[in-house]
Structure 1
């Protein structure tokens, strides 16, 4: 099959250019979270040009059940990850040598977890057998299965907007009990339900590009929860990025988000939301634990030229004041419509509407992976004895 990359050409000096290392990654990327982004980041570090294949709804449904996001949403989410150079739609579920050849990729990268077809076949057995497979470290504490579990956890208690009720001892005890019922290790907070992700400063540094605004750059600031980072946020931030040169996103703390979202929102804790936003190609910097009100100190400190907010209702601050009063006073406030009706609540509603299916899917996946892991350990044991 003909290569889709032109042959290397000689440089001006007559010497051949260094061969570009092209890397292939594929997957479902359902609810494309920061764990997916971290795998993509690690894969990009192994080469120069990263191609990401995304499976179709039909392929995913056949092998593991229908995804939460449809294929168009998943294609858009992966394109928004800043380490991705190219997206291949409707990529085959089993990675073949022909696919690597078609896109002139040197090897395929996948996390050190297990991916199988409906009949239990390793989806990477072909590239593994031909030495075209490399592994990256899976991000512990997060997966699509885990996030679905958290959303299912949300449906097991009433959605109350009364913060005092949410934080009373019975509520916290209920969350702990639900964690045990769902076989999750710990309930880290009454806001995020169950989160096993352990953040480090190094992980944040890896996701951040470390660049500062250039002199004369127009700096734009937006703030919010950005919970379960989804296509609505991608469309919003893409539009915001056209308003300036350097985009700063302020992320509210879990208690602040809980005040205006209610129930046990946010689904993802602050550090998880930080990584999700940092992985977006339209974002340059993140303020961790940003104040709810955009103050004059904040605007002066970051030299903010424009403050943007989505076309959604804005709750007053705790004292009843408008949290955007200062940028409005300065004439530096603008409402940006994403023209996408996706919300965090709608994602949860998708899960709720198919709750029994997703519970069964999660259980089936866990059982399948356990059997494969046990077989793998037995094989290693036999090899060690021989």
Structure 2
């Protein structure tokens, strides 16, 4: 039997396996009976079973399940990354809609990050396959049909926390109505509201100058009398609620090391308040080799460099944000300040790199050059940073619009407090 000349038959078998299976079984049995009388020749049943005869000539792949998740992804953090990781696990291909600046302003207030910056963050995640730019805040029937027909979406995904439109209605009611909605578990311990709160709280104790955050003389005096606080914890009550587990780190990790001939590229830093500038410099660094190893400074190191109110995100939070980036293969959690000869040998590092844009800090005066060893070995490279954005510049955007964000956060904090008071266990990852 010629496969290509009988496409109608194989189309039927693919799309209607039970019906066509019955027909072919009948035909095979008829073949056995008619051959006894020397009648027509019909292929016997074994010839039609998978693994026999013509089935090995051409197989059809299963249609991939495409899932969709949208969001503002402003001040993107590891909670966003984990949501998209869970969404990807519900299908084969993940399409992400990034809400436009105009829609965010109309529904929530001004975003901190621009559309370009938010796109860089979303596109840089290892679980994202496609991005829809300027997605609507509310999923209308028209847009839902566009998702199903144009983008071939099978399911629309959202977290278990309620998402209400300004009029109080469920933003995903239509998707639920047609049975094309799936839910994932909210990542506890972090939110954009929480991060804005940390920045606003820190701003009460620091003075913002052109070159970053510097403590005023009065604050330095007060600081000396205060009991030291943990890094990543604002002094006005913003304590990180994140509870790190080994399982979460494994979920974010690639789970494999470099190959025997891979060039290992090493870059280090605080990577606080993970932003588009971080994504772009990591992408540039990855292009120098086959394996990118990222060193993430400890909370103590960051505090020594930038002041006691930093980092805004603690070590484990920063590690997960970096691990979620598609250009990163592995991280050193709590990397040393200096890149030593032993460290280079241990990880078989080919290049040590550093970007041209970094946080300015007077604390660097008097500290040893962290790259003295790789420089002496001729393996140090300075990379032109694609973006000028820094953690401080992002924080200053919020502080510059202090009143707007204080008012917006007050409302969101109330809803988050209610969520935690009524919180129940929800299974999921």
Residue 348 of structure 2 is matched in structure 1 by: 303
Question: 2:296 pairs with 248, 251, 274, which one?
Answer: 251
Residue 278 of structure 1 is matched in structure 2 by: 323
1:148 aligns with 2:206: no
Residues 128, 306 of structure 1: alpha-carbon distance in 2 compared, 3 angstrom cutoff: same
- Give the Cα–Cα distance (whole angstroms) in 1 for the partners of residues 318 and 416 of structure 2: 28
**Structure 1 position 212, deviation (Å):** 1.1
- Give the Cα–Cα distance (whole angstroms) in 2 for the partners of residues 244 and 42 of structure 1: 29
Residue 215 of structure 2 is matched in structure 1 by: 160
Q: Secondary structure at the match of 2:187?
A: coil
Residues 108, 249 of structure 1: alpha-carbon distance in 2 compared, 3 angstrom cutoff: same
1:104 aligns with 2:152: yes
Question: 2:175 pairs with 117, 127, 142, which one?
Answer: 127
Q: How does 1:203-222 map to 2 (within 5 A)?
A: 203-222=248-267
Residues 99, 375 of structure 1: alpha-carbon distance in 2 compared, 3 angstrom cutoff: farther
RMSD: 3.0
Alignment gaps of 5+ in structure 2: 1-10, 15-54, 207-213, 425-429
- Give the Cα–Cα distance (whole angstroms) in 1 for the partners of residues 337 and 389 of structure 2: 23
- Give the Cα–Cα distance (whole angstroms) in 1 for the partners of residues 419 and 371 of structure 2: 54
Alignment gaps of 5+ in structure 1: 1-6, 185-193, 378-386
Aligned length: 357
Deviates more, 1:112-121 or 1:146-155: 112-121
Question: 2:71 pairs with 15, 22, 27, which one?
Answer: 27
Question: 2:310 pairs with 244, 265, 270, which one?
Answer: 265
Q: TM-score, normalised by structure 2?
A: 0.77
Residues 57, 317 of structure 1: alpha-carbon distance in 2 compared, 3 angstrom cutoff: closer
- Give the Cα–Cα distance (whole angstroms) in 1 for the partners of residues 56 and 152 of structure 2: 25
Report Cα offsets for 1:260-297 as digits up to 9, x if no partner: 11241110000000000000011000001110000011
Q: TM-score, normalised by structure 1?
A: 0.85
CA contact 1:114–1:369 (8 Å) conserved in 2: no
CA contact 1:153–1:178 (8 Å) conserved in 2: yes
Residue 100 of structure 2 is matched in structure 1 by: 56
Question: 1:76 pairs with 115, 120, 124, which one?
Answer: 120
**Structure 1 position 372, deviation (Å):** 9.5
Q: How does 1:236-385 map to 2 (within 5 A)?
A: 236-312=281-357, 320-367=367-414
**Structure 1 position 76, deviation (Å):** 1.2
